[in-house]
């Protein structure tokens, strides 16, 4: 009978659907951490936290979501990547996109806090196209270190960069990284001098930022053909970030690059450029005192996209031979962000760095597995129960061990046969219990 | 001119609106953690983690959100409290409601894992009415410990309860807690024997669960008048959970209560009751071996609401004198939850406990502040710069200290006057730097 057939096929579909429904899956772009991966994560966090604490930083925590309006207008073109929560009645919420904006919101809310050197290790969320092999997830950790408050010029900036290099050196990355440094005001000056209209600064910045992957000719074409700046403006920009800049970078350290830019007077009398040069002159003195200036390259083509930067900006990329395998950390100075949240317009200048940990996990995972250094548990003693003894006997033993704060486990099953015993011994060995 | 007036008033509104917009706020029911509060949190987590590790547990982590379908059908009436993410194209997601369902999903996905004793300390999300003074937040921490896999009966259950009492005893709660224990199958048996229709089990359970706050007469009225069970059924339930049960609880320990229930044969030959009694007989033997049975009260009126429990259930409440000040932890056995995610129907029995930490924070905060034991940073040395010395001098000193892994800070400002010096000394004292 056809209607029976239809009914059967309908039921079969529902059944298949319900199986489908129960197939266990994890959201796209996210990951679980197994016990082994947690052990690796702890190694990385310990290295990083130790540096933060060595510099006297305290830590804070903020909620995983913020009011939607807190995040609005802070991330430029990347705002489309923000995860919104559903409107279930009540406030409009969104998952945090970074730890910097919540930090600024925290400072603006805590009006008794005028200075804060804090670190914050937590997860952030971006609806980006995931690429797990490159360590690009939709939920990922950031390890942030920021110094907020009024200080003598460039003192906090230099310390943030010191923290960054200490971490890069203490992680087992084999020194295979390079750090680019630039100044937001130099980017603005470059645009002004080249005659780029003010409303196109942001979009031209994001073209310039592609110069680490694409050549000048390609980026230049994008600026003229797609973003509509004049040939003349593009040529002028080329004086700063074109192929000659690449060649200069290979031969000039930060001090020489700064001297060359000042000497050539390529920015004319532009006021923003003058401010940036003054900042960088002091900064390079301090980085010399710290002994880390040689780790930096002063690169006019570094143009990090976030809206809130106002001073120096920097980014470290991991390198394999001469090729970059992706950004590992970055940051900058953001003097106006706290003020954006403050009703009274109170400003707190701040500078910070954000370390992405996902690529580091992959590297540490490889290093630690090869060295056989991963241990998931810290159990010292395994109590077993023989079939002729009362079941509760190992429980009493364990209770005594635990009471003396000794890490112990019992077998959770009665040892009745040699096979049982062998299984227990395997368990002990698998968990590296001494 | 009236239209100018209108325009001005419109502009004034927009301006006021934009001020309103930037007033810094945190989402309802959430909190920031200040550096002092983070130090307290660490104390609590360290106590709890130490117990977990002492029992040989490993840790895992899962994403803050899950596929919506993963959470569906697991939480009964509480499902309305789940936070959904907005549908921005792609998967439908929701913030995790607890750590138990993600753990079950993890086990179902990792088909090579058959046994796992794991802890997980992380945040969960519930759109409940917040009550900060009682420690009820919309974003809060749970510290979960679970044992999954096939073991001899009640061995893992007893260890979970041991872990729970160790933590309650090691936290500075002054032993002001009580633990109630019951068995899901006894609740079911009670309903069956009393003639409550099967489709009303859940809603009657949630009435019974109110008996810690309301008297039997009130709860009985709710069952009959609002939930529509017969007077007869309500009277029969009264034999188990009515006023006489309260009186019995005051005089009978778990073993006596179990003996009394068996002796009175109040469950007749009900098969589920017989199973529960068998479980509890073994469990009480093990809890005696662990020396913790006396900490429990075997209370038929404990009826935790979550759908997934299949065996023993338990809950600890903090007490102040003779009054309860709210639940601090709870859990139970859930043998079918992993199977709900597994296509092949593979089941992994499991039992666990979840410790809520927000109330504990409040208590620890009071205890530690009174004892003056909180220290936010671990800085040992403060380097200062006198106005006659080069600014970079303390930087060089700090660089050397940091290179030797010594926790140090510099003043971030030049000391030019006595006032500056005094400010620095205050800073050193405020941060308890030796």
Q: CA triplet B377, B378, B384: central angle to 5 degrees?
A: 90
More confident: B175 or A434: B175
- Smallest CA–CA separation between A261 and chain B, in Å? 25
Angstrom distance (rounded) from CA B165 to CA A41: 29
Residue B118 near residue B103, CB atoms below 8 Å:
yes
Query: In which order are the strands placed within the sheet that holds A296-298?
Result: A58-59, A116-125, A139-148, A350-356, A323-333, A312-320, A177-183, A296-298
DSSP-H helix ranges across B124-183:
155-170
Cβ–Cβ contact B229 with A under 8 A: no
Q: What confidence category does residue A145 fall into, taking pLDDT thresholds of 50, 70 and 90? A: very high
Asked whether residue A431 carries a pLDDT value surpassing 80, the answer given is no
* CA-closest candidate to residue B304, choices B139, B76, B110: B76
Find the CB nearest B63 among A27, A53, A58.
Answer: A27
The conformation of residue A85, written as its DSSP 8-state character, comes to: B
A434 or B147, which is more confident?
B147
Which of B35, B65, B118 shows the shortest C-beta gap to A58?
A: B35
Q: Which residues contact A125 (CB under 8 A, 6 or more apart)?
A: A64, A82, A83, A95, A96, A97, A138, A139, B64
B273-327: pLDDT as tens digits:
999 999 999 999 999 999 999 999 999 999 976 678 999 999 999 887 766 677 8
pLDDT of residue B202: 86
Query: Which has the higher per-residue pLDDT, A117 or B389?
Result: A117
Mean pLDDT for the stretch of residues B351-360: 92
- Mean pLDDT to the nearest integer, A384-391: 64
B118-162 pLDDT per residue, tens = 999 999 999 999 988 778 899 999 999 999 999 999 999 999 999
Asked whether the beta carbons of residue A54 and residue B405 sit closer than 8 angstroms, the reply is yes
Q: Is the pLDDT of residue B29 over 70?
A: yes
* Pairwise CB contact (< 8 Å): A139 & B63: yes
Binary contact (A402, B35; C-beta < 8 A)? no
Residues B323-347: pLDDT tens digits?
667 789 999 999 999 999 887 878 9
Residue A214 dihedral angles phi and psi, to the nearest 5°: -115, 160
Task: Give yes or no for B114 touching A (CB within 8 A).
Answer: no
pLDDT tens digits, one per residue of A68-104: 999 988 887 788 999 999 999 889 999 999 999 999 9
Between the alpha carbon of residue B57 and those of residues A132, B109, B112, B117, the distances in Å are 28, 20, 18, 5
Residue of A142, A128, A141 whose CA lies nearest to A79: A128
Tell me how many residue pairs between chain A and chain B have CB atoms under 8 A apart: 259
Q: Which residue has the higher pLDDT, B60 or B269?
A: B60
- Which residues in chain B are closer than 8 Å to A147, comparing Cβ atoms? 412
Average pLDDT over residues A143-147: 98
pLDDT of residue B21: 47
Q: Say whether pLDDT at B115 is over 70.
A: yes
Q: Would the pLDDT of A433 be above 70?
A: no
Q: Which residue has the tokens 């009550």?
A: B131
CA separation for the pair B325, B363 (Å, rounded): 12
- Angstroms from B53 CA to nearest CA on chain A: 7
Tell which of A41, A48, A65, A287 to mutate to test the B interface (max B CBs under 10 Å).
Answer: A65
pLDDT of residue B403: 83
Model confidence at A135, pLDDT cuts 50, 70, 90, reads confident
Instruction: Give me the mean pLDDT over the A353-379 stretch.
Output: 79
A-chain CB neighbours of B19 within 8 Å are 343
- What are the φ and ψ backbone dihedral angles of A58, each rounded to 5 degrees? -100, 170
Q: How far is B98 from chain A (nearest CA, A)?
A: 15
Q: Please give the residue that has the higher pLDDT: either A131 or A12.
A: A131
Average pLDDT over residues A312-341: 88
For chain A, percent of residues with pLDDT exceeding 70: 83
Q: Is B22 on the interface with A (CB under 8 A)?
A: yes
The alpha carbon of residue B298 is apart from the nearest alpha carbon of chain A, in Å, by 21
Res A21: pLDDT: 47
List pLDDT tens digits, range A255-276. 999 999 999 888 988 999 999 9
Residues of chain A contacting B166 with CB distance shorter than 8 Å: 402
Cβ distance B83 to A87 less than 8 Å, yes or no, reads no
CA–chain centroid gap for B244, Å, is: 31
Domain ranges of chain A: 35-371, 381-430
Tokens 């809130």 correspond to A308
Partner residue opposite A61 with nearest CB, options B33, B64, B158: B33
Domain A35-371 has CATH 3.30.930.10: yes
Q: What angle do CA B78, B82, B85 make, to 5 degrees?
A: 165
Inter-chain residue contact B32 with A396, CB threshold 8 Å? no
Best residue of A130, A289, A390, A431 to probe chain B, by most B CBs closer than 10 Å? A289
Tens of pLDDT, residue by residue over A403-421, are 887 887 776 655 555 565 5
Q: Is the pLDDT of residue A390 over 50?
A: yes
Q: With CB atoms and an 8 Å threshold, state whether A162 touches B402.
A: yes
Strand stretches in B33-115, DSSP E: 58-59, 65-67, 93-95
Average pLDDT, whole number, for chain B?
Answer: 86
pLDDT of amino acid A176: 81
C-alpha–C-alpha distance, residues A351 and A147, integer Å:
6
Q: How close does chain B come to A214, measured CA to CA in Å?
A: 31
- Mean pLDDT for A236-254 is 90
Q: Report the chain A residue with the minimal C-alpha distance to residue B71.
A: A22
If you search the block for the tokens 């900058």, which residue do you land on? A332
Query: Average pLDDT for residues A340-350, to the nearest whole number?
Result: 88
ipTM strictly over 0.95? no
Give the chain A residue nearest B109 (alpha carbons).
A24
Most confident of B6-15, B39-48, B129-138: B39-48
């Amino acid at each position: 009978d056809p209607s029976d057939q239809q009914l059967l096929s309908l039921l079969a579909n529902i059944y298949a659907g319900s199986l489908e429904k129960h197939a266990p899956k994890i959201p796209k772009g996210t990951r679980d951490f197994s016990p082994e991966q947690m052990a690796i994560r702890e190694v990385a966090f310990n290295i990083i936290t130790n540096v933060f604490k060595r510099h006297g930083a305290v830590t804070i925590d903020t909620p995983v979501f913020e009011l939607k309006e807190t995040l609005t207008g802070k991330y430029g073109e990347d705002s489309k990547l923000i995860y919104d929560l559903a409107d279930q009645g009540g406030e409009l919420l969104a998952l945090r996109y970074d730890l910097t904006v919540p930090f600024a919101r925290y400072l603006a809310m805590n009006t008794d806090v005028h200075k804060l050197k804090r670190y914050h290790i937590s997860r952030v969320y971006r609806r980006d196209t995931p690429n797990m092999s490159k360590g690009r997830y939709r939920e990922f950790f950031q390890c942030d270190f920021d110094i907020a408050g009024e200080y003598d010029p460039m003192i906090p900036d230099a310390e943030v960069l010191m923290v960054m290099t200490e971490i890069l050196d203490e992680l087992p990355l084999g020194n295979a990284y390079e750090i680019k440094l630039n100044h937001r005001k130099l980017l603005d000056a470059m645009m002004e001098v080249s005659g780029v209209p003010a409303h196109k600064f942001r979009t031209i910045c994001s073209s310039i930022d592609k110069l680490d992957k694409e050549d000048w000719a390609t980026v230049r074409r994008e600026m003229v053909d797609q973003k509509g700046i004049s040939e003349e403006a593009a040529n002028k920009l080329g004086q700063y970030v074109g192929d000659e800049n690449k060649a200069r970078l290979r031969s000039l350290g930060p001090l020489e690059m700064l001297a060359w830019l000042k000497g050539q007077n390529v920015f004319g009398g532009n006021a923003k450029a003058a401010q940036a040069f003054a900042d960088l002159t002091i900064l390079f003195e301090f980085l010399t005192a710290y002994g880390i200036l040689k780790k930096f390259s002063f690169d006019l083509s570094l143009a990090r996209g976030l809206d809130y930067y106002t001073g120096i900006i920097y980014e470290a990329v991991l390198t394999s031979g001469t090729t970059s395998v992706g950004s590992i950390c970055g940051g900058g100075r953001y003097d106006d962000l706290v003020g954006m949240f403050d009703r009274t317009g109170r400003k707190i200048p701040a500078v910070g760095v954000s370390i992405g940990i996902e690529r580091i996990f992959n590297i540490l995972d490889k290093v630690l597995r090869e060295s056989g250094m991963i241990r998931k548990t810290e159990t010292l003693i395994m109590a077993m129960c023989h079939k002729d003894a009362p079941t509760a006997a190992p429980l009493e033993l364990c209770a005594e061990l635990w009471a003396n704060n000794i890490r112990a486990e019992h077998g959770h099953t009665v040892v009745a046969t040699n096979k049982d015993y062998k299984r227990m011994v395997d368990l002990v060995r698998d968990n590296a219990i001494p």
